[in-house]
Amino acid sequence: MSTVIPIRSEKSTGCTDVIPLIERGQREVFCGLTGIIWLHRKIQDAFFLVVGSRTCAHLIQSAAGVMIFAEPRFGTAIIDERDLAGLADVHDELDRVVNQLLNRRPDIKMLFLVGSCPSEVIKLDLSRAAERLNQIHHPAVRVLNYSGSGIETTFTQGEDACLAALVPALPAAVATAPKQLMVVGTLADVVEDQMRSLLEKMGISLCFFPPRKSHDLPAVGANTRFLLAQPFLADTARALQERKAQYLPAPFPLGLEGTTAWLQEAASEFGVSDQVFEQVTAGPRQRTEKALAVHRQMLQGKSIFFFPDSQLEIPLARFLHRELNMQLVEVGTPYLHRQHMAKELAWLPAGTRISEGQDVDLQLDRCLKDKPDMVVCGLGLANPLEAQGITTKWAIELVFTPIQGYEQAADLAGLFSRPLKRREKLAA
Ligand code: SF4
């Protein structure tokens, strides 16, 4: 099946064969440690121990904005001068910190040792440390490691590295088990609940990865079909495919059209009839269409420029162009994964300027010359651009806010229409 009519049904190859502008210069992006902020909220009994410097501790502490009297589920084991000078055995120090932590916090069931720039520079082998500590603490606590270092990862790649490290820990699905859908990528609980409800109403058996509790790790095997809920999970997808799971190619569930096509991909795979699909999605689709109309009035015809940040840029640009009639000036992405982006690229208007990687000075020059109505960028660029009279949207907000699915589509549009409205009011 798949005859349910999306918003537009024209056949277009859009930007499928696009040759992006490739830049490999200075970049202005957070490192992968940032992912800890949403990951620690999702996996409720996991702890993220960054093995890093005071800078790393400061980044996490200020980005997460945790109150000082809360018991956080992340922390930093500081590599100090004695470690750097080789005066102390870093592995011994790490064992001591981990033992202390786990003795004091019996609620922790999964511990991630997270590598950083300093741990990478001194070539600290965290996989060996995780293996050693796992032997001591498993089964009470599973110890894993991944890198969130700014040398290896940007912003959302931290989640990819974390989930890819978790894939080998997933239990093997029984060979005779019925086909199951796995939704991959961290989603806000409210979004997850809505998606579960829609897919279960269609009769699809499903699980989410990562789970909310570490003992709920979903099984994986040849009967697993997975949909990506986030566009930045290339390594995780590869690790799942190595465990025989099959990837379902779909656009990402942003906006009315993206969510419908994403659900349709699962429905097709699981043999859901058009009639059932219609019954389940007609109500939410109508509500979403109505809610988006309000924002379309403010956004249509406005131009937008994306600096590369979260890898959400291409699906967001598709949503803003096709559903809200915005004009795309440049769509920058840190990495372009052609296979995962295939359906999104086909939906972008032909000729869209897509850039991959960054050379921030050159990109700023292009942006100032183009004078877009709105720019999506990191925190470091927002203030200078606002000072030039350009309305900005912080990319990080798009990662922290629940934006996937039908019920969130209008909130997502609001994240773009509100700053423009505010500027109009200030100018009046
Ligand atoms: S990992 Fe590297 S880039 Fe990230 S906060 Fe630590 S030192 Fe800075």
Q: How confident is the model at residue 2 (pLDDT cuts 50, 70, 90)?
A: very low
286-304 pLDDT per residue, tens: 999 999 999 999 999 999 9
pLDDT at 424: 85
Mean pLDDT of the chain: 92
Q: Which atom of ligand 1 is nearest to the CA of 116?
A: 1
| Residue of 53, 74, 122 to mutate, ligand 1, most atoms within 8 A of C-beta | 53
Q: Whose CA is nearest to atom 8 of ligand 1?
A: 56
pLDDT at 60: 87
Beta strands in 210-365 (DSSP E): 224-228, 246-247, 303-306, 327-333, 354-358
| Residue of 29, 59, 162 to mutate, ligand 1, most atoms within 8 A of C-beta | 59
Q: How confident is the model at residue 405 (pLDDT cuts 50, 70, 90)?
A: very high
Q: How confident is the model at residue 3 (pLDDT cuts 50, 70, 90)?
A: very low
Average pLDDT over residues 340-352: 96
Q: Whose CA is nearest to atom 3 of ligand 1?
A: 150
Average pLDDT over residues 80-108: 85
Q: How confident is the model at residue 8 (pLDDT cuts 50, 70, 90)?
A: low
| Residues whose CB falls within 8 Å of the CB of residue 151, separated by 6 or more in sequence, listed in order | 117, 120
Q: At what angle do helices 274-299 and 189-201 cross, to 10 degrees?
A: 140
φ/ψ of 260, rounded to 5, equals: -60, -45
- Give yes or no for residue 56 CB within 6 A of ligand 1: yes
Q: Whose CA is nearest to atom 6 of ligand 1?
A: 56
**CA angle in degrees (0–180, nearest 5) for 256-262-266:** 140
Residue 11 has pLDDT above 70, yes or no: no
Average pLDDT over residues 324-350: 97
Of 83-92, 212-221, 347-356, the one with minimum mean pLDDT is 83-92
Of 10-24, 147-161, 329-343, 383-397, the one with minimum mean pLDDT is 10-24
With H, G, I as helix, E, B as strand and everything else as coil, classify residue 318.
helix
Residue 69 has pLDDT above 70, yes or no: no
Residue 284 has pLDDT above 50, yes or no: yes
Q: How confident is the model at residue 331 (pLDDT cuts 50, 70, 90)?
A: very high
Distance 57 CA to ligand 1 centre (A): 9
With H, G, I as helix, E, B as strand and everything else as coil, classify residue 229.
coil
| Residue of 26, 48, 51, 55 to mutate, ligand 1, most atoms within 8 A of C-beta | 55
Asked if residues 116 and 148 have their Cβ atoms less than 8 Å apart, the reply is yes
Q: Which two tokens stand for residue 25?
A: 């210069």
- Sheet containing 206-209: which strands, arranged edge to edge? 206-209, 180-184, 224-228, 246-247
Beta strands in 62-179 (DSSP E): 74-78, 110-115, 142-147
Residue 259 one-letter amino acid: T
Of 50-59, 220-229, 250-259, the one with minimum mean pLDDT is 50-59
Whole-number Å distance between alpha carbons of 130 and 271: 42
Furthest-apart CA pair in the chain: how many Å? 70
Distance 58 CA to ligand 1 centre (A): 10
Whole-number Å distance between alpha carbons of 298 and 259: 22
Strand partners, 226: 182, 247
- Sheet containing 46-52: which strands, arranged edge to edge? 74-78, 46-52, 110-115, 142-147
- Give yes or no for residue 35 CB within 6 A of ligand 1: no
- Give yes or no for residue 33 CB within 6 A of ligand 1: yes
Whole-number Å distance between alpha carbons of 111 and 49: 7
pLDDT at 1: 39
| Residues whose CB falls within 8 Å of the CB of residue 84, separated by 6 or more in sequence, listed in order | 118, 122
The backbone region for 86, taken as left when phi is positive above 0, alpha when psi lies in -120 to 50, beta otherwise, is left
Pairing label, strands 142-147, 180-184: unpaired
| 301 Cα distance to chain centroid | 28
Distance 9 CA to ligand 1 centre (A): 45
185-204 pLDDT per residue, tens: 999 999 999 999 999 999 99
Positive or negative: CA dihedral 76, 80, 82, 85? positive
Distance 148 CA to ligand 1 centre (A): 8
Positive or negative: CA dihedral 123, 111, 222, 190? negative
DSSP string, 354-415: EEEEE-HHHHHHHHHHH--SEEEE-HHHHHHHHHTT-EEEEHHHHHHS--BSTTTHHHHHHH
354-383 pLDDT per residue, tens: 999 999 999 999 999 999 999 999 888 999
Residue 345 has pLDDT above 70, yes or no: yes
| Residues whose CB falls within 8 Å of the CB of residue 155, separated by 6 or more in sequence, listed in order | 29, 30, 31, 32, 34, 35, 309, 310, 334, 395, 396, 399
Q: How confident is the model at residue 236 (pLDDT cuts 50, 70, 90)?
A: very high
The pTM for the full model equals 0.94
3-state class percentages of the chain: helix first, strand second, coil last, to nearest 5 = 50, 15, 35
